[in-house]
Structure 1
Amino acid sequence: MHKLLKKQIKELLPDGADLESLTPFIEAVEKTYLSSESELQDLRYKLQDTSSLLNKRFQQLTYHLKQTENTKLELEHSLSLLNATLNATYDGIVVIDENNNPVTWNDMFLSMFSLDDSQSTIVISNKAIKDKLMLLVRNPEEFEQSWTFNQTYPDQPSYCVLSMNDGRFIECNTNPRYHQGRNVGRVWSFSDITEIRIREQQAIHKNYHDDLTRLPNRALIYDRINHAIQGGGAQKEEHAILFIGLDGFKYINEALGLEVGDELLVAVAKRLHEDIPPKSTLARYGGDEFILFLENIRSSFEASLAAEKLRLIIEKPFEVKDQTLHLTTSTGIALYPTDGADAETLIRKADMAMYHAKNKGRNNVQFFARELELLTSHRMNIRNSLKRAIDNQEFHLLYQPKVDLKTRSIIGVEALIRWKKPSGQVISPMDFIPAAEEHGFIVDIGNWVLEEACRQMTQWRQLYHTPFDIAVNISGQHFQKERILHTVDHLFSRYHLPPDSLEIEITESVIMNDMDEAIMTLQQLKKMGVNASIDDFGTGYSSLNYLKRLPVNTLKIDKIFVDDITKSRRDMALVDTMISLAHHLNMKTVAEGVETRETLELLTQLGCDIGQGYYFSHPVSADEITHLLQQDSSLETVKS
């Protein structure tokens, strides 16, 4: 480097110049040159490092920009997904910050509260949203309480239901939202629960109202009565419960069908409801029974007047499906606080009084009395005892002979049920037969009587080879075509008895409950070879129209006509007429209650065919009948 510089200077100097004198200068220049070259080299290195760093930074920046772009796209996608999710729900959503300023919301929120989307940034503000909702609801105080709760307890969820002016119900749920552990506001969710509320209200209405008549039902009337009693406090206001039973409805329902029966019940409910006093509740208790609850009455006379008014209202004829129908009512009344302190007790006692009204001839009004409770208790004891009697076979049969009045021979017996408890107490059929009918035991008892009678008849026929039959009285409930025909057919097959060995006795009232059905059943029994008789003839309807249509073999003249025929010309004339009528219709006659020789002789003169009564024999056991059959059966009397 030095030689080169020296050569260059030499070329620039004149010839003969002394270069040695320039040596210090040249060295200084060389030094400077070398120094500059070193600095330049350092600069090159620095520039190279800076370029590498810039390139690296550029690559990093490019990478971060790409990451930022990806993040932006992801955020846009998330935001789009969030918006789509918010707008896909049926709930209105609004998110607010810690200052209660709305941050975001969905379209359903705007629609739910009729907010204008184009002006949403103006409308949706802290004060505006609250004021808007307060104007839309019927219960602003509840919304105000919820709003205040949210301010007071920012970390607690809240709930309220907004009742809107347009009839809707909006369920409002709010939950706090957090960011990095700090409360940053709240999320409000609004659900339209109008349909749910309507269904709930319908379900509540259905639970407390009768489907057919739309009247309050049993549950609601219990609630109304108890509420009135509890609301009265120490004042003890008087209330009345009227238990109304329709007389004759069951017959109409069975004769004309359920559709007519239902329409009739609706008409009855409407007529009753139109004339009930103010501040009272009419309910359908069930079936053909209604309850009228009178609140805060002045006296029992007021309840009596209301019952009498309703009785007269129902007496007026009803027009249903082009038919004129007639009903009456039997009404029982119980009073608060005299007869009870709660709905259950009062209704039970009013029910007792209603049944008492029915037993007194129907179409009347009766107040509850202590004696009715004792009678009901007695009947309930009989009911419970009846169930045990059936299970424990406490019944037995006695038999009363039927005597041919010409030959004075035994031609059959009537089976008579008796009930003797294990304690030895004997219960009269007059007590337990009505109870058995009322409580649904009569068919089981009737089947047992038929079974026992046929079993005993099998034994007697083996000893007594002349014609001989056994009569069994059948209740109205038992005397239904399917029941009685099936039972009789089964017993004949089981005991191998000829059909004419059994006689079925039915009363006039059984026939008149449904004459057409009774005639059909009697015809079927006749085809089977079973004899039938009308028991207690003359005490019921005694209609010649039905008598000529009935396929029966015998008329049994009731004891009340036979008792005084030797003393009363009128009674004798009636019995004579009955005998003559029966004979003209090809029927035999049986006189019940033959207790004296004079009565026997007069019945024989009148042409009566068969006699039955204490003159011949009291009801006796099967063994005693067996003993009588083994004797000369032509004996005039076979007294026990």
Structure 2
Amino acid sequence: MGLRRTEKNEWGIERAGRDKLTGLFGASSYIKTLNEIQQTGGAFGIIVLDINSLTCINEKFGESVGNQILVVTAKKLKKCIRETDMAFRTGDDEFSILIRGVCNSEFYEDIIDRIRQSMNRRVVLPEAAIKVGIGAGYARYPENGNDVQSVIKAADSVMYQDKRLQKDEQKTEKVSAYNLSHDSLTGLYNKRGFVEAVRIHLTENPNTNNILLMSNFRDFKMINQVFGVDKGNEILIRMSNLIRERCGRMGIYGRIDSDHFVLLMEKERFRESGMCDVLDDFFCNILGADYQVRLQIGIYDVADPDMDVLGMCDRANIAIRSIKHDSKLAIAWYQDDMMKDTLFENTIISRFDSALKNGEFVPCFQPQVDPDGKLVGAEVLARWNFPGRGIMHPKEFIPVLEKAGVVVQLDRYIWERAAEFLEKWKGTPMEELSLSVNISPRDLYYVNLGDYFQDLMERHGLDPGKLKLEITESTVMSDPEQGAALVEKLRASGFIVEMDDFGSGYSSLNMLKDIHVDVLKIDMGFLHRTDDKKRARIILDFVISMAKTLGMSVITEGVETRDQLEFLVEMGCRIFQGYYFSGPVMLEEFLDRYYSSEKENEKAV
């Protein structure tokens, strides 16, 4: 500390020396000044101040930054006190203010509040913008002590108590900040924490090439419903532990939604084959052999590090939504043209509710006939008469509605329409006709199908055998026990249950052992998907023979040629469905083709 000059203070007491860094009176004159004032018999008070964490600031930003904070602090103190008061720098990070005369507590607290408010704002320096906090306390002579040392001790005691309270508040704030930025279930970053961490990382590392991965468990809501929320949470926790264990400090990761995990990492560190091997181990018996967890992963190659982080996540999610196949693990990289598909899907979903209300979904009928082409039944299928586009094929909208979880509503609509047709056809030549409708996998979990279909038949006064119910292997095998119970309940109520796409699954024979159905529907695509047609025909012949032995009827789908029809007849098939006879057609064409009476047609429509 250097001495600038000798001068007298406001009380006429000769004082020498100022702090070279801040320009305030120095520590060497502090105690001496207080003693001299006491000896003159004057009343006074002191405010003691301590800068929080100055040592940490020096270590992180350097002493030059710490010194600048001291200078700024001194300037702020001068602005907050009267001209008759004095400010001292009494230690490395400590300051004191000497207050002249008798002043009440509100006066001291007002000065401290003004100092604290000015210091709580970030101190903007060339090197950094730093939020500076202070601890503060005050004491008065002679109220809080009979001599200078006791007054200083009393002020220090209040100041240290204030710092302890601040530390407790900071701990609470840290806990609160942690809760705001972390997922309570897994301990990973939540959406807010992930976005903030990624933005900081990309700002500090603008020249690194990164990728963002997002994972999605297919039909996770169904897992919660079938196995319980606790089991679903267990899967999420295991997944988070796997990410934490494998990624460590190599990336930034979090859980930003129900079953969506995200990871930002350097592209050169990513090995797709290694990730697949790790996830294969993860899948082993996670829910038992009867239910296969399916994980989809979308990857976005971060081309623009300045892009909004949630925009990056959206693109990874778009890649997920582009996945069409249903394998255990599916991976897709984002491509720009996927955005068009996403916009189309959003249009589908946004129009769906109004389309149902406005009757835009149109039931079509694909005939089921005997070898001579005589009509014995029909399958009711949905088409969407999309405004401005025309008739839309189910392949364009059904997968979208399934992913959005709203296909159940469409299924119900078709079931209701089919029942309405059967009721209207009473007393007409179409009265003997039966109709088949499809049950999707999601229907099994979102609708009490047994009670629903019984109520449907009662409301329309129909024999349950008139409405045949088509289920797929995947529908019942996702939960074999529940599937078997449902099939038995439906059959006991008089419904005819048909197994659609038999043979397309991996455990068809095992399924037949445990689940009794009335009809097997075999797709001729079974023959088209192999080069060994002879071997395929032998297997097909065996399946038809086995069905007859088990007391089941067989409907062959996808019949397109006369040759196919003839060899299927030789094998014993008696009911056919396919474009050789007719594709799905609108109601008017269906009735015109098979019922020529215009009067009956008008009544039926």
Same fold (TM over 0.5): yes
Match of 2:346 among 359, 362, 380: 380
Match of 1:293 among 264, 271, 274: 264
Shift of 1:450: 0.8
Distance in 2 between residues matched to 1:561 and 1:136, nearest whole Å = 74
Shift of 1:147: 7.9
Match of 1:421 among 362, 386, 398: 386
- Map 1:339-354 to 2 at 5 A: 341-354=307-320
Match of 2:441 among 476, 491, 515: 476
**1:308-327 deviation per Cα after TM superposition (whole angstroms, max 9, x unaligned):** 44433232247999989986
Higher mean displacement: 193-202 or 623-632: 623-632
TM-score, with normalisation over the residues of structure 1?
A: 0.66
**Partners of 1:268 and 1:314 within 8 A in 2:** no
Higher mean displacement: 154-163 or 272-281: 154-163
Distance in 1 between residues matched to 2:540 and 2:284, nearest whole Å = 43
- 1:555 paired to 2:520: yes
Shift of 1:216: 0.8
SS in 2 for 1:275: helix
**Partners of 2:367 and 2:378 within 8 A in 1:** yes
- Map 1:393-542 to 2 at 5 A: 393-405=359-371, 409-464=374-429, 467-480=432-445, 482-542=447-507
**Partners of 2:521 and 2:557 within 8 A in 1:** yes
- 1:615 paired to 2:564: no
Higher mean displacement: 618-627 or 579-588: 618-627
Match of 1:268 among 203, 226, 239: 239
For the aligned residue pairs, the C-alpha RMSD in angstroms reads 4.3
Shift of 1:542: 4.5
Distance in 1 between residues matched to 2:527 and 2:330, nearest whole Å = 34
Q: AA paired with 2:252?
A: T
Match of 2:335 among 366, 369, 384: 369
1:157 equivalent in structure 2: 111
Q: AA paired with 2:210?
A: H
Structure 1 runs not aligned, ≥5 long: 1-98, 104-124, 164-168, 178-185, 633-640
- 1:313 paired to 2:278: yes
TM-score, with normalisation over the residues of structure 2?
A: 0.70
**Partners of 1:331 and 1:365 within 8 A in 2:** yes
Shift of 1:335: 2.7
**Partners of 2:384 and 2:393 within 8 A in 1:** yes
Shift of 1:569: 2.9
SS in 1 for 2:383: strand
Distance in 2 between residues matched to 1:248 and 1:436, nearest whole Å = 13
Distance in 2 between residues matched to 1:322 and 1:484, nearest whole Å = 25
Match of 1:224 among 191, 197, 201: 197
**1:319-362 deviation per Cα after TM superposition (whole angstroms, max 9, x unaligned):** 99998998675433223335872212211112223444674845
**Residues 1:170 and 1:241: Cα distance change in structure 2 (over 3 Å):** same
Distance in 1 between residues matched to 2:325 and 2:34, nearest whole Å = 75
Distance in 2 between residues matched to 1:472 and 1:596, nearest whole Å = 25
**Partners of 1:247 and 1:363 within 8 A in 2:** no
Shift of 1:592: 1.1
Q: AA paired with 1:215?
A: L
Distance in 2 between residues matched to 1:273 and 1:254, nearest whole Å = 27
Structure 2 runs not aligned, ≥5 long: 1-32, 38-43, 58-65, 83-109, 121-132, 142-153, 598-605
**Partners of 2:188 and 2:240 within 8 A in 1:** yes
2:149 equivalent in structure 1: none
How many residues get paired?
492
SS in 1 for 2:425: helix
Q: AA paired with 2:299?
A: I
**Partners of 1:554 and 1:588 within 8 A in 2:** yes
**Residues 1:369 and 1:466: Cα distance change in structure 2 (over 3 Å):** closer
Aligned sequence identity (%): 25
**Partners of 1:275 and 1:310 within 8 A in 2:** no
**Partners of 2:473 and 2:511 within 8 A in 1:** no
**Residues 1:627 and 1:365: Cα distance change in structure 2 (over 3 Å):** closer
**1:185-243 deviation per Cα after TM superposition (whole angstroms, max 9, x unaligned):** x99786525554333322211111011110111111111222333445xx544332122
**Residues 1:357 and 1:311: Cα distance change in structure 2 (over 3 Å):** farther
Q: AA paired with 1:619?
A: P
**Residues 1:359 and 1:207: Cα distance change in structure 2 (over 3 Å):** farther
**Partners of 1:281 and 1:292 within 8 A in 2:** yes
**Residues 1:624 and 1:136: Cα distance change in structure 2 (over 3 Å):** closer
1:389 equivalent in structure 2: 355
Distance in 1 between residues matched to 2:373 and 2:443, nearest whole Å = 33
**Residues 1:394 and 1:447: Cα distance change in structure 2 (over 3 Å):** same
Q: AA paired with 2:440?
A: S
2:5 equivalent in structure 1: none
**Partners of 1:564 and 1:571 within 8 A in 2:** no
**1:280-306 deviation per Cα after TM superposition (whole angstroms, max 9, x unaligned):** 212112233211112xx4xx443x32x
- Map 1:6-85 to 2 at 5 A: none
Distance in 1 between residues matched to 2:522 and 2:393, nearest whole Å = 22
**Residues 1:221 and 1:479: Cα distance change in structure 2 (over 3 Å):** same
- 1:211 paired to 2:176: no
Distance in 2 between residues matched to 1:508 and 1:616, nearest whole Å = 26
2:212 equivalent in structure 1: 241
Match of 1:280 among 251, 263, 268: 251
Q: AA paired with 1:378?
A: F
**Residues 1:170 and 1:256: Cα distance change in structure 2 (over 3 Å):** farther
Distance in 1 between residues matched to 2:310 and 2:52, nearest whole Å = 47
Distance in 2 between residues matched to 1:206 and 1:175, nearest whole Å = 39
**Residues 1:467 and 1:171: Cα distance change in structure 2 (over 3 Å):** farther
Q: AA paired with 2:517?
A: V
Higher mean displacement: 345-354 or 470-479: 345-354
Distance in 1 between residues matched to 2:283 and 2:34, nearest whole Å = 67
SS in 2 for 1:479: helix
**Residues 1:255 and 1:611: Cα distance change in structure 2 (over 3 Å):** same
**Partners of 1:260 and 1:320 within 8 A in 2:** no
SS in 2 for 1:423: coil
Q: AA paired with 2:80?
A: Y
Q: AA paired with 1:154?
A: I
